[in-house]
Structure 1
Amino acid sequence: MARTLTTVVAEIRTLLEVKLRVKGRDLRTQVRRAGRRLPRKVRRDLKFLIETEKIAANPKLGRMVNDAKVAKAHASVVGYLEAINPREAMWNLILNITASIALALIVVFVVVLYLLVQRGLI
């Protein structure tokens, strides 16, 4: 199971790096850096896989690993990560930043206009 769990973790680490551009020396670091970009359920499954990987490293405790639960967590995480389109995510980020800047400029313009009207300059 340890070898299979290792390949599962390696696949998830690769997907996190490719899809979310999150790098790290291990899965725990990558999950911490991804933070809230991952839904709560996916983070919970990833934490389960991290703990399972730690347990599987011990020969006696490795027998306690539940293969069905590992497969279910893996399917959940991979299903979410494969649905992410990095190009679309980048485009959404650019649009959100642009919209925030535009809103700030509109608010500043309205405040300046209001002040000019109140002082009788317009």
Structure 2
Amino acid sequence: MDIRARTDRLAQLLEQRLDIRGTGFETKLRRAGRLLPRHLRRDGARLVEAMKLSDHPRLGRQVDPKQLEKSADAIERYLLSLDAWDRRRGIAVSFSASVLLNLLILIALVAGILLWRGLL
């Protein structure tokens, strides 16, 4: 397994599915933050550490390829299960609901002040 190719693929998926910009897997993983579950953030950190170790000839042998494959598969499976359009729609609905709630509170406040002053 080529760790660089696999992390490049995961970086591409992070950008496509979660709209995370940046250069390289490590930056995108850090920016993803809480958008990824804790166990996947841990798996991502394991992949980043393996990338650093793979540059060194002796330390590169300490990396367990099966564990890295398992970690990369878990992250890829999760990212492929996400729907970017559904996520964007959820953000838009949440924002709209927030604005609507604030507008209703403002209307109720204005009506309350008008009632209190006897103008309504």
* Match among 9, 14, 17 for residue 16 of structure 1: 14
Shift of 1:23: 2.1
Any conservation in 1 of the 2:8–2:24 contact (CA below 8 Å)?
Answer: no
* Match among 58, 62, 65 for residue 64 of structure 1: 62
| Identical positions, percent | 32
Q: In structure 2, how many angstroms separate the alpha carbons of the residues matched to 1:98 and 1:121?
A: 31
Alignment of 1:42-61 (within 5 A): 42-61=40-59
Structure 1 residues not aligned, in runs of 5+? none
RMSD: 1.2
Aligned pair count reads 120
Structure 2 residues not aligned, in runs of 5+? none
Q: In structure 1, how many angstroms separate the alpha carbons of the residues matched to 2:12 and 2:4?
A: 12
Q: In structure 2, how many angstroms separate the alpha carbons of the residues matched to 1:35 and 1:106?
A: 33
**Normalising by structure 2, what TM-score?**
0.93
Any conservation in 1 of the 2:17–2:82 contact (CA below 8 Å)?
Answer: yes
Q: Which amino acid aligns with 2:118?
A: G
Offset from partner CA, 1:6-49 (integer Å, 9 cap, x none): 12111101111111121212211111222221221211111111
Offset from partner CA, 1:52-111 (integer Å, 9 cap, x none): 110111111000001121111111101110011111111111111111100110111111
Runs of at least 4 residues off by over 4 Å? none
Q: In structure 2, how many angstroms separate the alpha carbons of the residues matched to 1:47 and 1:84?
A: 20
Q: Which amino acid aligns with 2:39?
A: K
Q: In structure 2, how many angstroms separate the alpha carbons of the residues matched to 1:110 and 1:44?
A: 47
